[in-house]
Chain A
Amino acid sequence: QKEVEQDPGPLSVPEGAIVSLNCTYSNSAFQYFMWYRQYSRKGPELLMYTYSSGNKEDGRFTAQVDKSSKYISLFIRDSQPSDSATYLCAMKDTNAGKSTFGDGTTLTVKP
């Protein structure tokens, strides 16, 4: 079993929809949680970074961490066609420089 599980999708939604992307993990040592967006044939780009449990909002994006359930989410409000990409979750513990990535969820937002 992988340390980080992420539903690969694909997920297709109409423009303007609210999108929910999720990851579960097994390592209770994880303290830092990140979401990356990767457009086709590009490198991943950091979207959101949160520490421990709670919510963080940045524009149309909200990251949510529930450490008790070992579950993290990324919500995208008013989704746009430009949000079409693969979204990867990543997490790390406090003492390691390396992140463990999920396999990514592919999202398509249709105009």
Chain B
Amino acid sequence: DAGVIQSPRHEVTEMGQEVTLRCKPISGHNSLFWYRQTMMRGLELLIYFNNNVPIDDSGMPEDRFSAKMPNASFSTLKIQPSEPRDSAVYFCASSPDSSGNTIYFGEGSWLTVV
């Protein structure tokens, strides 16, 4: 079975540009998570969805960040405008149920904003 699929795997962009990260969760999973990982702050939850509905977006750093899940098989995380401090690895993860006790991560999108 395919795991969580993220794209792009690597992105280098200039400050001020819009960045869109994409995620396809594991088929049949009904919870989806977006995490950000940096050396300074570790792994931080940005937002999670259950049955395509955002449940908790308290981790979204500011209004420049937005996430959508238009259907059960696709989600996006958008940063507009991007800033150098947004440079990080962004992980999408999915879980087979709403408990979130077992989470399956994608391989991450490595973002560098210059």
Q: Which residues of A contact B (CB under 8 A)?
A: 32, 34, 36, 41-46, 49, 88, 92, 96-99, 101-104
Known: A43-B91, A102-B42, A104-B42. A97 touches B100 (CB 8 A): yes
Q: Which residues of B contact A (CB under 8 A)?
A: 4, 31, 33, 42-43, 45, 48, 50, 55-56, 91, 93, 95, 98-108
Closest to A94 in B: B99
Q: A34 is contacted by which of B43, B50, B101 (Cβ under 8 Å)?
A: B101
Most B Cβ at <10 Å: residue of A32, A41, A96, A98:
A98
Residues of A within 8 A of B43 (CB): 44, 88, 101, 103-104
Task: Report whether B102 and A49 are in contact in the complex, using a CB–CB cutoff of 8 Å.
Answer: yes
Task: Report whether A49 and B101 are in contact in the complex, using a CB–CB cutoff of 8 Å.
Answer: yes
Task: Report whether A97 and B91 are in contact in the complex, using a CB–CB cutoff of 8 Å.
Answer: no
Task: Report whether A46 and B102 are in contact in the complex, using a CB–CB cutoff of 8 Å.
Answer: yes
Closest to A103 in B: B42
A98 to B104, CA, bound (A): 13
Task: Report whether A97 and B104 are in contact in the complex, using a CB–CB cutoff of 8 Å.
Answer: no
Closest to A88 in B: B43
Give me the 3 closest cross-chain CB pairs, A-B, nearest first.
Answer: A43-B105, A97-B100, A103-B42
Task: Report whether B104 and A96 are in contact in the complex, using a CB–CB cutoff of 8 Å.
Answer: no
Task: Report whether B56 and A98 are in contact in the complex, using a CB–CB cutoff of 8 Å.
Answer: yes
A44 to B108, CA, bound (A): 10
Q: B108 is contacted by which of A32, A43, A46, A49 (Cβ under 8 Å)?
A: A43
Q: A92 is contacted by which of B50, B93, B101, B106 (Cβ under 8 Å)?
A: B101
Q: A97 is contacted by which of B42, B48, B106, B107 (Cβ under 8 Å)?
A: B48
Residues of B within 8 A of A88 (CB): 43
> 8 A-B residue contacts at CB 8 Å?
A43-B4, A43-B107, A45-B105, A46-B103, A97-B99, A97-B100, A99-B45, A103-B42
Closest to A44 in B: B105
